[in-house]
A and B are shown apart, each in its own frame.
Chain A
Amino acid sequence: MAEKLGVYICEGCELAKSLDTQALAEHLTNGKYSSQCAVVKTSAVLCAPEGVDMVAADIAAEGLDGVVLCACSPRSKWDVFKFGATQVERVNLREQCVWSFQADPTFPDLLQTMAKDYSRMGIIKCLKSKNPNPEIPVTNKDILVLGGGFTGLNAALNAAKMGHNVILVEKDAALGGKAAGMLKTFPMTYPFTQAQDTGVDKLIADVTANSKIKVYTSAALAKLEGAPGLYTATVTSGAGEEQLPIGAVVLATGWKPIEGSFLAPMGYGKFKNVVTTAEFEAMAKKGAITRPSDGKAPATVAFLLDVSMAVKAAEAALAAAQAAAAAAPAEAPKTGDACETAFVYKNMESAKHLAYSSELNSLVALKQAGYVREKNADASAYILYDHMMVPGINERYYRAAQDNPGVMLSKADITEIAQDGDGGILVTAKNTLLGENIELKADLVVLPTGMVPVTALEPTINLQYRQGPAFPDLELFDGFADSNYICFPYETRRTGVYAAGCVRQPMTLATAYDDAAGATMKAIQCINSANRGVAVHPRSGDLSAPVFNFQRCTQCKRCTEECPFGALDDDEKGTPKPNPTRCRRCGTCMGACPERVISFENYNIDQMGSAIKEVQVPDTFALGGPRVVVLVCENDAYPALDMAAFRGKKWNPYVRFLPVRCLGSVNAIWVADAMSKGIDGVMLLGCKYGDDYQCHFVKGSELCNRRKINIAESLQRLGVEAERVEQYEVSIDEYDKIPALIESFMENVIKKFGPNPFKGY
């Protein structure tokens, strides 16, 4: 706990123009915290060298263990206001107080009152906070690369180059993965017009020759126990089972081609001369392109990219299955006493994987049309696409392919695929560029390949976590081990495991190459964060970690269940077992705990509750207006507020903002604290959720929304209207909507329900 504070009030950025800084300083010097505030000073420009030097000099002279800087947003000048071990609390007078202040003529003193509230809130937060002092584990530095394909090989080489030992686990007998079966791949170098060699042979040779990389082929990861920096991987291979200490994992397990049955509606399996791109590539790699029916070289090959027939058939089958299931009620499990059911991984393979692979299939069609032309100068390749997806530099490849006179392209919706008498395939299509519905005959038809990530089929990482062996909620991404947040590629829902390549999303080798580098660097960052006791991501460098007061724990398991990252295991009784290196410091456990036994040294229940109580609430509206506390997610909503203030937006002067790490960390007690203090309403500003989820911690807003229902019930028992607590979703670019959002809360809630009945007690 900080005990001796210095408080500094900045007068720059025109703050002193509307704010009486001297009066504020006086209020703090003589106020309730006068004994703790050893120094209270104003500064013309606090972030100027003179201001910073003054603070540093005071720290040295007075032995301050905390400074409260009443100046700009903590998002500005964070690199200037750093004072070693001395804690720094920023009071956002600039954006949230002065710049956005909307005067109300009824109460001329509002701005001063607001500044005093915020300053006291800052002081109490600093007083109730201490420097975290985590245990520093001794970590393993070895990196486990799962999958020996193009991505995995690159990742292994990257990690080895950066000085890490690498364990490369490949399920097949040979390295190389899918790339080894390719004749060529899309251009990776200027001028990006010619298909080229994959280069996988050289990668295999480099990996095999690298002394830092240990390769296990025909091997599997049976178990991954522990936590980042402290994993023990159980690898099974022909040589038996081995336990290996691992720091972090790069997941590069790639993909499998979609089941042929999904392509049956397009004639696959029914007509001999209908093959998939995967089969076509194998043929080309072997040497000659031939028709399966008669072994002759085809003169015309049609590549069909429109898979709507397959997708529609799959959807219809699914709907029929669901209808059948609904009609026949599920049979009760016959073995009633067998409560323990074996873990069953949900197979997430679906026709959607065909659609997800569209970009790759567009490129593959262009590439394989090139094979057709190269092998036979008189042969033609038809490409019938619904979308020709060649974003970015690949546009150049498309143009080059299109220039080939024997590559003929048209948009088309495929309506029918039939066989002609001579084994040729008749393709019927509508909505073509050729003007009408067309029928086209081809000697050979090539259907796209759906890339199904391995994680859609099996848990793959086999974690020994309380929340299960696999990544949670992968259904959201149809099995792709994609990041939980668009801005953080490679990130998975399990700290220490970083996804790269086609297991993350269908991608080209060029992208996989970058992915391998990115994921490897994340893995290294993870190891080098774990061994310093800090969070990896997104609160990179955060030293704080949840601290549990086990004496009061009731083993309700809410924290272990709700942790979005599976950081908490538990013992048989249900007592949580923290794994700090898995933790991302979002505070979801703290928000979940009904007994409030979980806290962070610099972010805790008491601290936030006390800060809320520092809002000075007038006894009646007539004496000073209403008061509303806004708990703001510091990841998206808080920057949006700053942005709004920056752009001159002004808003209702009766609200007080308090940043939280995530709405998931909001504990119900804070709302109760606010209500008992007489505050008229609580707004919760969090991220968007639903399809375009923006939460840095996966499900903060959603959890908060669920908890809000419980809060509402408690409030109603107290005789306080549930409507006084409301949650709003603000994405980072919606800064312009904030003033209206606040105003609508004031209108619809505060005006409607009037003062909090607890006011004045």
Chain B
Amino acid sequence: MSNAVRVQPDLKFVKELQEVGGESLKKCYQCATCSVVCPLSPADDPYPRKEMVWAQWGLKDRLVNDIDIWLCHNCGTCSDLCPRGAKPGDLLAALRNMAYRKLAQPSIIGTWMSSSKFLPILIAIPAAIYLLIWVARAATLGTAFPLFDAAGKVVATGGRVWYGGLFPGDFTIDPIFSLLFLFVVFTFYKGCASLMQSFKSLPKTFVVGRTKEPCFCKCVVDTIKNEVAVHSRFKECGQEEETQSRVKGHLLVFYAFLALMVVTGTVAGAHWGGFVLHKMGLDGVFLTILHAFGDTPLSLFNPVKLLANAGAVALLIGLTLLTKRRMGLDNAKQGSSFYDWYLLGMIWTVALTGVMSELLRLVCWPGMAYPMYFFHLVAVFMLIGYLPWSKLGHLVYRTAALAYARKIGRIPMI
């Protein structure tokens, strides 16, 4: 037959998928209940039935180019109602995990991020950097747990805990994290490019009434406005109460991060802005205002600090909701992979070490405050630095994929 497509079954790929969270995929007997009950799947060529059989046959080329895995928000309805316990939702999650692992370079980080056994390496990198700094600074300051007076001089007693004193932001935080940030941005750029490349083979969907494809920018804006900002499709994913708590938790965490990002941005902007203004000799009221926002620690009543603390509280509430839901999952129906637990654990660590650092600083317990801050730095480094290979990578990849799906008509513009 001339129009037959050669398929290349790949047993290794099947096993690989089973390892990254799709262990039940062989149980599927193609009844397509999953595709029918999925609240999001398009009527035309729906997922995840087809992904299940592709996975069973190890059809790697189809699965790695499949845009539909990003359309799924993993409510678990398919897995819940699967008569065979094949967990199609887990398979799609596994495929996304595989994408996190494979999309970004260097791929060795992807390998490290795929299993808990590599966790020590991941921790060791930032820990080594900041331990080195800590040791060097301790040698300079004469103590590993310094107390500072108002002028920033080390004192034996009566001083305060000042993280910027031990780890000066200008030299040990901002340059490292800026470089890390640039590295992550570049990695995402490359990752997204290869993601887009993989979608090139996808068929165009004919959309009734659409004269021409919308431009990609419009699609991105539409995606951010609806999917990212208000979780338009995510909200429709699953109807049960539990799923709605998931949406709430996810929104809280998302906006908490946004708030913390604004805080970080404001502080960094004010700090370096003040620095530049000062260098230019433009001292004045404006500089004073910048100092108020750029010199850490901020006053507890500083609006930026208020926002930071509000964000921290929202983060903790959101995290609690998400963790509770994940822990309550019936493992017979929906499993959790290392990727899920890594991300939750990472955010918990960042949030808890952050809050604890603040509290320990306020009660002025240097022996515990500095190690806590050290852990916080390590955790933040891990959260940001490994982002393209972690589940949090969906922030970028999913947004890109959903925008692309709009462009080719796989999902409609809102």
B20-34 interface bits toward A, Cβ cutoff 8 Å, 1 = contact, 0 = none = 000000110110000
Q: Quick check: which of A98-106, A356-364, A434-442, A486-494 contacts chain B, the rest being far away?
A: A434-442
Are B56 and A408 in contact (CB-based, < 8 A)? yes
A692 vs chain B, min Cβ distance (A): 31
Bound-state CA distance A300–B18 (Å) is 20
Determine whether A469 belongs to the interface, using a CB cutoff of 8 Å to chain B.
Answer: no
Are B7 and A438 in contact (CB-based, < 8 A)? yes
Bound-state CA distance A403–B57 (Å) is 12
Contact of A434 with B54 at beta-carbon distance under 8 Å, contacts A402-B27, A405-B11 already known = yes
Determine whether B356 belongs to the interface, using a CB cutoff of 8 Å to chain A.
Answer: no
Are B18 and A434 in contact (CB-based, < 8 A)? no
Are A440 and B7 in contact (CB-based, < 8 A)? yes
Are A430 and B9 in contact (CB-based, < 8 A)? no
Count the A-B residue pairs with Cβ separation under 8 angstroms: how many?
Answer: 64
Are A405 and B6 in contact (CB-based, < 8 A)? no
Determine whether A415 belongs to the interface, using a CB cutoff of 8 Å to chain B.
Answer: yes
Bound-state CA distance A408–B29 (Å) is 11
Determine whether A42 belongs to the interface, using a CB cutoff of 8 Å to chain B.
Answer: no
Are B26 and A410 in contact (CB-based, < 8 A)? no
Who on chain B is nearest to A436 by CB? B5
The residues of B that contact A411 with a CB separation of less than 8 Å are: 30
Q: Which of A358-407 contact B (CB under 8 A)?
A: 378, 380, 382, 399, 402-406
How many B residues face the partner with a CB closer than 8 A?
Answer: 23
A673 vs chain B, min Cβ distance (A): 62
Determine whether B15 belongs to the interface, using a CB cutoff of 8 Å to chain A.
Answer: yes
Are A403 and B53 in contact (CB-based, < 8 A)? no
Bound-state CA distance A439–B4 (Å) is 6
Bound-state CA distance A428–B7 (Å) is 10
Determine whether B48 belongs to the interface, using a CB cutoff of 8 Å to chain A.
Answer: no
Are B56 and A409 in contact (CB-based, < 8 A)? yes
Determine whether A416 belongs to the interface, using a CB cutoff of 8 Å to chain B.
Answer: yes
B267 vs chain A, min Cβ distance (A): 52
Are B1 and A378 in contact (CB-based, < 8 A)? no
**Of B4, B14, B53, the contact of A405 (CB 8 Å cutoff):** B14
The residues of B that contact A429 with a CB separation of less than 8 Å are: 4
Q: Which of B243-277 contact A (CB under 8 A)?
A: none
Determine whether B344 belongs to the interface, using a CB cutoff of 8 Å to chain A.
Answer: no
The residues of B that contact A300 with a CB separation of less than 8 Å are: 9
Which residue, B3, B15, B29, B57, has most C-beta atoms of chain A within 10 A?
Answer: B57
Bound-state CA distance A409–B25 (Å) is 13
Bound-state CA distance A20–B5 (Å) is 83
Are B26 and A402 in contact (CB-based, < 8 A)? yes
Are A415 and B1 in contact (CB-based, < 8 A)? yes
Contact of A408 with B3 at beta-carbon distance under 8 Å, contacts A399-B27, A434-B53 already known = no
The residues of A that contact B30 with a CB separation of less than 8 Å are: 411, 433
Contact of A441 with B6 at beta-carbon distance under 8 Å, contacts A378-B11, A408-B58 already known = yes
Bound-state CA distance A415–B4 (Å) is 10
The residues of B that contact A440 with a CB separation of less than 8 Å are: 6-7, 9
Which residue, B4, B6, B50, has most C-beta atoms of chain A within 10 A?
Answer: B4
Bound-state CA distance A406–B5 (Å) is 21
Who on chain B is nearest to A399 by CB? B27
Determine whether B383 belongs to the interface, using a CB cutoff of 8 Å to chain A.
Answer: no
Bound-state CA distance A380–B15 (Å) is 12
Bound-state CA distance A468–B257 (Å) is 92
Q: Which of A413-463 contact B (CB under 8 A)?
A: 415-416, 428-430, 433-441
B311 vs chain A, min Cβ distance (A): 45
Who on chain A is nearest to B50 by CB? A435
Contact of A438 with B4 at beta-carbon distance under 8 Å, contacts A405-B26, A410-B53 already known = yes
Determine whether B228 belongs to the interface, using a CB cutoff of 8 Å to chain A.
Answer: no
Are B9 and A437 in contact (CB-based, < 8 A)? no
Who on chain B is nearest to A427 by CB? B4
Contact of A430 with B1 at beta-carbon distance under 8 Å, contacts A408-B56, A439-B6 already known = yes
The residues of B that contact A410 with a CB separation of less than 8 Å are: 53, 57
**Of B1, B50, B57, B58, the contact of A437 (CB 8 Å cutoff):** B1
Determine whether B59 belongs to the interface, using a CB cutoff of 8 Å to chain A.
Answer: yes
Are B5 and A382 in contact (CB-based, < 8 A)? no
Are B7 and A434 in contact (CB-based, < 8 A)? yes
A23-61 interface bits toward B, Cβ cutoff 8 Å, 1 = contact, 0 = none = 000000000000000000000000000000000000000
Q: Which of B333-356 contact A (CB under 8 A)?
A: none
A365 vs chain B, min Cβ distance (A): 15
The 15 sampled A-B contact pairs (Cβ below 8 Å) are A378-B11, A382-B9, A405-B14, A405-B18, A408-B9, A408-B56, A416-B1, A428-B1, A430-B1, A433-B30, A434-B53, A437-B4, A437-B5, A438-B6, A440-B9
Known: A405-B26, A434-B53. 17 other contacts (CB 8 A): A300-B9, A378-B11, A380-B9, A380-B11, A402-B26, A404-B26, A405-B15, A408-B9, A416-B1, A428-B1, A433-B53, A436-B4, A437-B1, A437-B3, A437-B4, A438-B5, A440-B6
